[in-house]
Structure 1
Amino acid sequence: MAVGTLPTSSLGAQRAGDALGYFPTPPWATRALCEWLDAELDEPMAVQTAWEPACGEMHMVRPLRERFAEVIASDVQPYGDHQLIDFPSFGWAYPKADWVITNPPFFLAESFIATAFDAAKRGVAMLVRTAFLESEGRVNGLFTANPPSYVLQFAERVVMLKGRLIRANAVDPFAEVEGRKASSATSYCWIVWLRGADGLWPGDTRLRWIKPCRARLERDSDYPDYCVLPAGPAPT
Structure 2
Amino acid sequence: MQNRSHAVMAQRAEAADSPDDFPTPPWATRGFMEHVINDCGPFSKMSALEPACGAGHMAKVLKEYFGEVRASDAYAYGYGAVRDYLDVPYEANAVDWVITNPPFRLAEEFVQRSLMVARLGVAVLVRTVFIESSGRYRSLFENIPPTKFAQYVERVPMVRGRLDKKASTATGYAWLVWEKEKVGFPRLMWVPPCRKQLERDQDYS
User: TM-score under structure 2 normalisation?
Assistant: 0.88
Decide whether the 8 Å contact of 2:93 with 2:119 is kept in 1: no
Whole-angstrom CA distance in 2 between matches of 1:194 and 1:102: 15
1:164 aligned onto 2:145: no
- CA distance in 2 between counterparts of 1:77 and 1:94 reads 23
After the TM superposition, which segments of 4 or more aligned residues of structure 1 sit over 6 Å from their partners? Answer: none
The partner residue of 1:183 within 145, 168, 176 is 168
Matched to 1:124, the amino acid is: V
CA contact (8 A) 2:92 2:118 kept: no
Q: Does the 8 Å CA contact 2:102/2:110 hold for their aligned counterparts?
A: yes
Shift of residue 137, structure 1, vs aligned partner: 1.0
**Equivalent residue for 2:189, pick from 204, 208, 212:** 208
Cα distance change on mapping 1:195 and 1:73 into 2, 3 Å: same
Aligned to 1:192: 177
Match of 1:30, SS? Answer: helix
- Gaps in structure 1 of 5+ consecutive residues: 1-15, 171-181, 225-236
Q: Give matches, 1:76-225, under 5 Å.
A: 76-93=74-91, 96-167=94-165, 170=166, 182-196=167-181, 202-224=183-205
SS of residue in 2 equivalent to 1:89? coil
Cα distance in 1 for partners of 2:23, 2:79 equals 16
Deviations 1:3-42 (A, max 9, x none): xxxxxxxxxxxxx9x812110000011001111355311x
Distance, in Å, in 2 between the alignment partners of 1:206 and 1:81 is 34
Could you tell me how far apart the structure 1 residues matched to 2:143 and 2:93 are?
25
Deviation at 1:95, TM superposition (A): 6.4
Q: Distance in 2 between matches of 1:221 and 1:118?
A: 35
RMSD (Å), alpha carbons: 1.7
Give the equivalent residue in structure 1 for 2:35.
36
Which of these two proteins has the greater Rg computed from alpha carbons? Answer: 1
- Tell me the amino acid that sits aligned with residue 142 of structure 1: L
SS of 1:60's partner is: helix
2:38 aligned partner, one-letter code: A
Matched residue SS, 2:38: helix
Which residue of 35, 38, 54 corresponds with 1:56? 54
In 2, Cα distance between the equivalents of 1:143 and 1:202? 13
* Number of residue pairs the alignment of both structures matches: 190
Is the Cα–Cα contact under 8 Å of residues 23 and 164 in structure 1 kept in the other structure?
yes
Shift of 1:141: 1.9
Partner of 1:47 in structure 2? Answer: 45
The equivalent of 1:27 in structure 2 is: 26
Mapping of residues 67-78 of structure 1, within 5 Å = 67-78=65-76
**Gapped regions of structure 2 (runs ≥ 5):** 1-14
Could you tell me how far 1:81 is from its partner in structure 2?
3.3
- Once the two structures are TM-superposed, the CA of residue 94 in structure 1 deviates from its matched residue by 7.0
